[in-house]
Amino acid sequence: MFETVKYLIGSTGASGFGSKSTGEDVTAAAPDLRSITAIITGATSGIGAETARVLAMRGARLVLPARSLKAAEETRARITGEFPGAEIIVLPLDLSSLSSVGCFVFRFLALNLPLNLLINNAGKFSYEHAVSEDGVEVTFATNYLGHFLLTKLLLNKMAETARETGIEGRIVNVSSSIHGWFFGDCLGYLDQMTRKKAAYDATRAYALSKLANVLHTKELTQRLEQMDANVTANCVHPGIVRTRLTRDREGLVTDLAFFLASKLLKTIPQAAATTCYVATHPRLEGVSGKYFADCNEVSPSSSASSPHEAARLWRASEAMTAPRPDRTWFGLEPPLSSDKPADEM
């Protein structure tokens, strides 16, 4: 009850920020990001679009991957309309397709740009069962697996940029407190769901993908340390906000549910605050492997805290994203390969 009251009144935590803080508020301590290049997935609307707007306001160069280039161009036009000097590059990316992820990375690396920030923000809530072209349930494929491969293929570039510039690289995985709603065997449930051996539960599928984001962050942190890379990885819960995530079910019922929950909802500028804080604030230099909500470090669920499950998911993800004759990574050599064979998953 006490935590709910603190949330509603916007009480600040140890960071000096809280649930009512905005992206602009939390980036005031890092007002000049002109030396920073950031990739932000899911930046065509909602929290991602506001994150992109705030980083552009502070001077960062942005790369916006998008499935809809039209939507991404509209986002670029809105931001450059407000900040005429903003540098924004739009590239195609469909996170549910591993081949598309590989193509995006190839195109990005061909630009010979540095990479300081990777914000894995894009999310999908699929009400109907669907399987990606790679044979993976589509919510998991979009929210987690595509981001897993994207991150892995960009790690060498991020480590190189940090080494050459002396500026710490940061990876921010956007999860949700809903990750705590999933209990059980992650990989077993994914297999059952993909093969339709269990009734499809859209909320549980979404919770699984968000749990995977937290576990990814945990294992990624360990492997970055093994690389001795000056790159951190952290995970955030942005808060409850109405975005286009519910676009498949707009209507009276959805409208009523959000109206009843309106006192708990954040505005989009408030929802972007934790991502912006973790991506830019000087106070978090060297902080890695943590989970943040309302711009303060909090504890994730017990399921998200298991090193064994994090390592197990990583090994399975490597197997699911391995190159095949019909999809290659254009000669890229992803680092951080598992030292255990896939049959030990």
Q: SS3 string of 242-274? A: CCHHHHHHCCHHHHHHHHHCHHHCCCHHHHCHH
Other C-beta atoms closer than 10 Å to the C-beta of 109 total 16
pLDDT of residue 257: 47
pLDDT of residue 102: 95
**Helix (H) / strand (E) containing 78:** helix 69-82
Length of the chain: 345
pLDDT of residue 129: 92
pLDDT of residue 332: 67
Place of tokens 């599928």: 205
Alpha-carbon span 12 to 72, nearest angstrom: 34
pLDDT of residue 181: 87
**Helix (H) / strand (E) containing 108:** helix 98-110
185-201: per-residue pLDDT in tens? 888 878 988 888 878 98
| 246: pLDDT strictly greater than 80 | no
For residue 149, the one-letter residue type is L
Per-residue pLDDT band for 268 (boundaries 50, 70, 90) equals very high
Per-residue pLDDT band for 5 (boundaries 50, 70, 90) equals very low
Alpha-carbon span 10 to 19, nearest angstrom: 5
- What does DSSP assign to residue 118? E
| 180: pLDDT strictly greater than 70 | yes
pLDDT of residue 182: 84
184: left (phi over 0), alpha (psi -120 to 50) or beta: left
Pair type for strands 61-66 and 88-92: parallel
Share of the chain above pLDDT 90, in %: 74
pLDDT of residue 10: 57
Q: Which are the contacts of 139, defined by CB distance < 8 A and separation ≥ 6?
A: 124, 125, 126, 202, 205, 206, 208, 209
Q: What average pLDDT does this structure show over 107-119?
A: 98
DSSP string, 200-247: --HHHHHHHHHHHHHHHHHHHHHHHHHHT-SEEEEEEE--S---GGGG
What is the separation, in whole angstroms, between the first and last Cα of the chain?
Answer: 40
Burial of residue 124 (number of CB atoms within 10 Å: 0-12, 13-18, 19+): buried
Q: What average pLDDT does this structure show over 134-157?
A: 97
- Two structure tokens written together for 170: 């940061």
Q: What average pLDDT does this structure show over 111-128?
A: 96
DSSP string, 162-187: HHHH-PPEEEEEE--GGGGG--S-HH
Calculate the alpha carbon distances from 218 to 82, 230, 254 in Å: 37, 16, 34
| 336: pLDDT strictly greater than 80 | no
7 is known as an active-site residue = no
Q: What average pLDDT does this structure show over 263-282?
A: 93
Q: Which are the contacts of 118, defined by CB distance < 8 A and separation ≥ 6?
A: 38, 39, 150, 151, 154, 158, 169, 170, 171, 172
Per-residue pLDDT band for 35 (boundaries 50, 70, 90) equals very high
pLDDT of residue 333: 53
- Two structure tokens written together for 214: 């937290």
If you average pLDDT over every residue of the chain, what do you get?
88
**Among residues 70, 71, 139, 141, which one has the least CA distance to residue 100?**
141
Q: What average pLDDT does this structure show over 325-329?
A: 77
Other C-beta atoms closer than 10 Å to the C-beta of 334 total 18
Per-residue pLDDT band for 6 (boundaries 50, 70, 90) equals low
pLDDT of residue 241: 80
Place of tokens 């990375």: 105
Q: What average pLDDT does this structure show over 282-293?
A: 97
Residue pair 38/62 in contact by the 8 Å Cβ criterion: yes
pLDDT of residue 255: 52
Per-residue pLDDT band for 293 (boundaries 50, 70, 90) equals very high
189, 200, 206, 277: the active-site residue: 200
